[in-house]
A = this chain, B = another copy of it.
Amino acid sequence: MSGSITIAGLGPGAEALVTPEVTAAVAAATDVIGYIPYVARVAPRPGLTLHPSDNRVELDRSRHALELATQGRRVVVVSSGDPGVFAMASAVFEAVEAGPTAWRDLDIRVLPGITAMLAAAARAGAPLGHDFCTINLSDNLKPWSLIERRLKLAAQADFAMAFYNPRSKARPEGFARTLEVLREACGDARPVIFARAVSTPEEQIRVVPLPQCTPEMADMRTMVIVGNSATRIIERAGAPIVYTPRSVPA
């Protein structure tokens, strides 16, 4: 048996958002590797070894997965959302590039998933219906000055913005500063969507005008989406609909 490594996206939480391609890959795996809560989503069965590991050990986990594949195992690395968006795919390829040449010849596949920003956008309406950008607000792997520079340029470009990892206990200041930068750069009451734990039983969606946003509205389970200057709110009896029109008049 020749080994393989598949980096698969489990989507934001609900089983109804897992693609059949990913379900089939997990069903055919001999080994499933990933962060503890994602591996917990895979049902144990005979012939399958589960390898849950802690957060922040992405490179170790990647090397472990690659070693198992060279031993002939069918390894699935599980990510939440889409593995290519601030998740495991880049970590695995960093390990491949730095590792033994034999790792390059492995059967490696990435299976896309529903990433959090698209699940969150769908719940709120269509805030990403025009040009947008996607920024990881964690400064664990890049300098904060670069994040701030990107926020300012994104505001100048009038992109809608989707923010991953807006705030954690270890990084409480960054999102507060993000809100300041946006208020200065955008200077208007554009809508901000706080989408927490989308597609899970704890899901909570709030739409707040930028001037009224506070840092505490976000945590690590929250996706934050900021409209562009044309984003509209449709008020109605239920939750409002937030959408960005397709057109920009000349």
Identify the A interface with B (CB < 8 A): 11, 14-21, 24, 58, 82-87, 89-91, 93-94, 96-97, 104-105, 108-115, 118-119, 121-123, 125-136, 141-143, 146, 149-150, 153-154, 156-159, 232, 234-238, 241, 243-248, 250
Of B11, B90, B131, B243, which one neighbours A129 at CB under 8 angstroms? B90
How many subunits of this chain does the assembly comprise?
2
Tell me whether A126 and B110 are in contact (CB under 8 A).
yes
Q: Complex formed: what's the CA distance from A156 to B104 in Å? A: 33
* Chain B residues in 8 Å Cβ range of A110: 121-123, 125-126
Tell me whether B236 and A90 are in contact (CB under 8 A).
no
Most buried by B among A16, A58, A246: A246
Of B109, B114, B149, B243, which one neighbours A19 at CB under 8 angstroms? B114
Tell me whether B82 and A118 are in contact (CB under 8 A).
yes
* Chain B residues in 8 Å Cβ range of A97: 232, 234
Q: Complex formed: what's the CA distance from A203 to B243 in Å? A: 32
6 interchain pairs, CB-CB under 8 A: A82-B118, A83-B126, A85-B118, A89-B243, A110-B122, A143-B250
Taking A122-B83, A157-B150 as contacts, is the C-beta distance between A112 and B245 under 8 angstroms?
A: no
From A236, which residue of chain B is reached at the shortest CB distance?
Answer: B104
From A23, which residue of chain B is reached at the shortest CB distance?
Answer: B20
* Chain B residues in 8 Å Cβ range of A157: 133, 149-150, 153-154, 157
* Chain B residues in 8 Å Cβ range of A96: 234, 241
From A14, which residue of chain B is reached at the shortest CB distance?
Answer: B21
Tell me whether A105 and B237 are in contact (CB under 8 A).
yes
From A155, which residue of chain B is reached at the shortest CB distance?
Answer: B153
Taking A16-B19, A90-B243, A118-B115 as contacts, is the C-beta distance between A85 and B128 under 8 angstroms?
A: yes
